[in-house]
Amino acid sequence: MLVDVPYIPATALEVEAQRAFEPARTSPAFARRLAALALRGGALAVFLGVLIVFSVTAPFFLTVGNIGNVLGQSAISGVLAIGLTIVIIAGGSNVVTGGIDLSLAANMGLSAAVYASLAQAGHGDGVAVLGALVTGLAIGAVNAAAITLAGIVPLLATLAVMNVVAGLELVLTQNTVVPASSEFLSALSAGGPLGIPVLAYILLGFTLVVAAIVQYTPLGLRLYAVGAFPDAARAAGLPVRSFVAGSFLASGLCGGLAGILSVSYLSGSTTGAGDMLLPVVVTALLGTVFSRRLVPTITGTLLSALFVGFLVNGFQLLNISSTLVSGVQGLLILLVVSATTLLGRKENA
Amino acid sequence: MAESGEAIIRLENIVKRFGGAQALSGASLAVARGSIHGLVGQNGAGKSTLIKLIAGLHRADGGAVEIDGKSYDRLTPHLAEELGIHFIHQDRLLVPTFTVGEALFLGREPRIPGTPFLDRAAMRRRSAEILERYFGVSLPHSALIAELSAAEKQIVQITRALIADPKVLVFDEPTAALVRREADLLFQLIRRLSAEGVTILYISHYLGEIVDLCDTVTVLRNGRDVATLPVAETSAAKIGALMVNRDIGELYPKSDVTPGEVILQVDDLVLAGRYEAVSFSLRRGEVLGLTGLVGSGAKEVVRTLFGLDRPTGGTVSVKGETVFSADPAAATERRLALVPEDRRSDGVALDLSVTENTTLASLGRFSHGLINRGAERRQTEDLVQRLQIKTDGVDALVKTLSGGNQQKVAIAKWLSRQSEIYLLDEPTVGVDIAAKVEIYRLIGELAERGAGVLVLSSDIEELLGVTDRLLVLFRGRVTRQFISSETSPDQVLADVTGAYETLLHAG
C-alpha cells in the first residue's frame, strides 16, 4: 500500500479489503503447471526418442549387456552427480547464487590418486579406501567452510577449491598414471550377475540409499526447505548454515567414493579427471526435469545419468565422433537451465 | 501498563538500529497473559521490527526482553518456538515447492513408527483434518504451495502455528491478503483461541479490526510506544490521533515564499489506462504535493513529467514552452530534476564517490574533453556544505553514507545541474527523523531559491507539512485539491482511499 494510513473509517476499509482481492483461483498458476507438465513430458519424450532412434540404428543398443554396460560406465559420473544434486537441493537451484560444487571432478581425481598412491606404497585396501574417503570429506569441509563461514558464493568457492585440488593431484602423481591393482579393485570392476558389471549394481544401490534419505526422511524434507526458501526454513527453526555445510560434506564424500570407483574402473589413477565436470553438471541439472515439481531429485539424477550415458554410448555405437558429445552436453545445459529459469520467473511474476 | 504482574511478553526500552536508521528507540511492550493485545502504528513506526525481535530474527541493540517472567539476552527462532510463541508473518514463509502437508509439518514431521521415514499419508490426513476443523476448507493434497492463492497460503501459515499448540500467537497484518469472509473466519478463530487461553498479539493497520477484536492496544510512533490503553476506554479515532504526530510545527520548518510565475503547466494530461485529464500548474517558489494509493496514477504522472512514459494526450509546458518529448535527457535539458523513490538503485550510484555522484548529471559544465577535477571538487564541497551532507569527505563512496545523506547527494546532483523544477518521489522513505527534517528544510530552500517543487509522498502528514497545495489522485483522476495549511490528515485520507467514491461505485 502506497499510502501510510493513520486511520481509515471502518466502512472505507471494508470496501478496500473487498476490492483488493480478485477471484482467488489464478490462471498463472495453471499456466505454470501446464508449462511444467510440457517440460517434463518433453524431457521424457526426448529420452524415449533417443532410445528408440539408437535402438533402431545401432544393432546392439537395447541388449541387456549394453544397458548394463551403460549403467557401469555411468557409475562414476552418476555418484558424482548425486553428490552435486544434494548440494543443489540444499543451496537452491539458482544457477549463479545457488548450490553448486565445481570441485567434484577434481575431488574424484585427487581421491583416486590418494588411493592409488597408498596402494602403491604397500598399504592395504582398507587404508586406501579410508584415505580416499577422508580426502573427499576434507575437500568437502574446505568448501563448506569457505561457503558458510567466509560467505563466498558456492560457484566461486568451489571453482577456487577445484583448482587447488587439481594442483594437489599433480603434485601427488607428478602428472603420471599411478597403476593400482588388488582383489578388491578387480572385484569392483568385474562382471556381476546377469552379465551386468558390479559398478552398475553399486550405482543402483547407492542411488537407492541416498534417495531413501533425501526423498523419504524428515532430514531430506528439511534439506529441500533450506534450499528452496531459507527464510521459511529459518522460521521453522532449522539451522540453515549447518544444512548447507552438511550438503558439501556429503558431496565431498561422494567425490571420495567416485575416486575409489574410478581407480577400479581404470586400474589406477589417471590424469584428466577435470573432463568429468561437464557431464556431471549436465546430469545434475538435467535431473530436475524428471521430477513432478521440477526440483532436483536423486531418482531424477539417476535417470538423467542414464540418459547422458545412453547418449554417449549411442554415439560410440554409431561411430559418431566423441568430440561432438561435449557440444551436445553443453547444449543440454543451456536448454535445461533456460527452461527451468523461465518457468521460475513466471512463478515469481 | 496494567496487569504488568502477569505479562507473558515484556519488552523494555528496546533499541534497534539498521545501518544509520533507528527503527526502534526505546520501545516497551507488555502483553498480559490470555489477552488479545493490539499493536498499531504507521509504516515505519517499528511494528514489524518489534515482532521480528520477539521472533528471534533480529537482535536488539539495547533493552530487556522478558518472556514468562524470565529474561533473555538473545532469542532465536528455535527458542521462541520452544517458549510457545508462534508467528503469522506478513510475508508468508512457506516453501513454494512443498505440498500443503509438507509445509504444515516442516520441522516436526511425523514418521512411520519404528523407521526414520516420513509418514506422508499421516501428513496428508492430519493436514486435511486440521484445515477442516479450523477453517472448514479443504485443499487438494497434491497442490504445491506455489499454486495456492494468497488467502490459502495465509490459512496454511496460520494452521502451521496452530499445530504447535502455541501459548502466544503473533499475527502480523493477517487480514492483508484475506477477503471479508476469510477475515471473519479468522476473527472467530482468534476469539476461540483466546477463550482457550492462548495469548494473542495482533498487529494491524486497520483500526476497525483492533477495536473490534482487542482488549488492550499499544500505539507505536517513531520507534517508541506512545500509549497502552484498554480498548474499552478508547475509540478508533483516539487511537488514530495517537498514531499521528501532532507537533507538526517543529517537524516541518516552513518558510513563507510568495509564488512567482508559472514554471510548469500541465493540461489534460492522459496516459491511457493509468490516468486521465490531469491538469495543474506549478509556480516558482511553490511546493506542490501529490498523493494517491498504488495504482492511482500519481507515480505515473511524475514519471511522465520526467519523460519516462509517453503521454497519450494533453500538454506539458515548461516556462511557457510546450514540451512533447518523452525523453529524460530532454527533461534535464529543460531543468527538470527527478529524485526517484528507490534511491539506492535509481537515485545515486552507490559505488561512486560523493563528488562523482554530485556532478554526474552536469559533467558538461566541468569538462572540456577532460574533466576538470578541481572545479568538480569545488562545486561538490560547496554543495556538501550547503546541504550539510554528513560525509567523510567528498571522495567518500556514497554507499558509506546514511540513507538521509544519500538522498541529499541525489538532490545535490540536480542542484549542480542547476535544475529549476524538482520532482521528488517519496523523498523521505527509509531515512531517520533527523534527516527527514533536513530534507524538509532543503525542500523549503529549493522553493525559496525560486525553484518549483513537486513532492509525491504517501505520508500525508509530511505532505501537509511541507507543501503549499496538495492534489489527491484517485483511480487516475485528480479528485481533490487542498490548501495544505487549512487541511487535516483525516480529510485528505478520506479522498486518498476514495472512502465516499468507492461506496458509490461498489454499490
Determine the 3-state secondary structure of B312 from DSSP: coil
Question: Domains of chain B: which residue ranges?
Answer: 4-248, 249-506
Q: Which long-range contacts (CB under 8 A, 24 or more apart) does A192-196 make?
A: A194/A64, A194/A68, A195/A64, A195/A65, A195/A68, A196/A64, A196/A65, A196/A67, A196/A68, A196/A71, A196/A72
- Within an 8 Å CB–CB cutoff, is residue A322 touching chain B? no
For residue B378, the surrounding DSSP H or E stretch is: helix B373-387
Of B96, B75, B213, whose CA–CA distance to B143 is shortest? Answer: B96
Nearest CA in chain A to B108: A218
Q: ipTM greater than 0.90, yes or no?
A: no
Of A199, A230, A203, A211, whose CA–CA distance to A290 is shortest? Answer: A211
CA distances (Å), A200 to each of A60, A203, A253, in order? 18, 5, 19
Residue ranges in B205-353 assigned as alpha helix (H) = 207-213, 236-243, 248-251, 298-305, 328-333
Kindly determine whether residue A17 and residue B180, on different chains, have CB atoms separated by under 8 Å: yes
**pTM, whole model, 2 decimals?**
0.67
Contacts of A32 in chain B (CB under 8 A): 146-147
Contacting A residues, span 218-237, partner chain B, CB-CB under 8 Å: 218-222, 224-225, 228-229, 231-237
Q: How far apart are CA A134 and CA A115, in angstroms?
A: 10
Kindly determine whether residue A16 and residue B497, on different chains, have CB atoms separated by under 8 Å: yes
How much is the pLDDT for B199? 92
Measure in Å the smallest separation between the Cα of B118 and chain A Cα atoms.
Answer: 5
How much is the pLDDT for B497? 64
Q: How confident is the model at residue A83 (pLDDT cuts 50, 70, 90)?
A: very high
Asked, colleague to colleague, whether B4-248 and B249-506 share their fold, the answer is yes
Angle at alpha carbon of residue A191, lines to A185 and A196, rounded to 5°: 130
For the domain made up of B249-506, give the CATH fold. Rossmann fold (3.40.50)
Residue identified by cell 517513531 is B222
Q: How far apart are CA B441 and CA B444, in angstroms?
A: 5
Measure in Å the smallest separation between the Cα of B216 and chain A Cα atoms.
Answer: 17
Query: Quick one: average pLDDT of B344-353?
Result: 81
Contacting A residues, span 3-42, partner chain B, CB-CB under 8 Å: 3-19, 21, 24-26, 29, 32-33
For residue A50, the Cα-to-chain-centroid distance in whole angstroms is 22
Select from B43, B81, B94 the Cβ nearest to the Cβ of A4.
B43
Kindly determine whether residue A222 and residue B175, on different chains, have CB atoms separated by under 8 Å: no
Summarised one tens digit per residue, pLDDT across range A189-219 is 887 777 788 888 999 999 999 999 999 998 9
DSSP 8-state assignment for residue B44: T
Query: Quick one: average pLDDT of B374-383?
Result: 86
Of A302, A74, A64, whose CA–CA distance to A193 is shortest? Answer: A64
Summarised one tens digit per residue, pLDDT across range A19-53 is 333 333 445 556 666 777 777 777 778 778 878 88
Into which CATH architecture does domain B4-248 fall? 3-Layer(aba) Sandwich (3.40)
Kindly determine whether residue B44 and residue A233, on different chains, have CB atoms separated by under 8 Å: no
Kindly determine whether residue B149 and residue A25, on different chains, have CB atoms separated by under 8 Å: yes
Nearest CA in chain B to A32: B147
Summarised one tens digit per residue, pLDDT across range B79-132 is 888 888 888 876 678 888 888 888 888 888 888 888 888 888 888 888 888 888
Select from A1, A19, A24 the Cβ nearest to the Cβ of B294.
A1
Kindly determine whether residue A237 and residue B206, on different chains, have CB atoms separated by under 8 Å: no
Kindly determine whether residue B118 and residue A218, on different chains, have CB atoms separated by under 8 Å: yes
For residue B29, the Cα-to-chain-centroid distance in whole angstroms is 22
Summarised one tens digit per residue, pLDDT across range B29-85 is 888 888 999 998 776 677 878 888 888 888 888 888 888 888 888 888 778 888 888
Point out which residues pair with B68 in neighbouring strands: none
Measure in Å the smallest separation between the Cα of A214 and chain B Cα atoms.
Answer: 10
Select from A15, A216, A222 the Cβ nearest to the Cβ of B503.
A15
Lowest mean pLDDT among A274-278, B142-146, B239-243: B239-243
Kindly determine whether residue B458 and residue A4, on different chains, have CB atoms separated by under 8 Å: yes
Contacts of A113 (CB under 8 A, 6+ apart): A169, A172, A173, A178, A259, A269
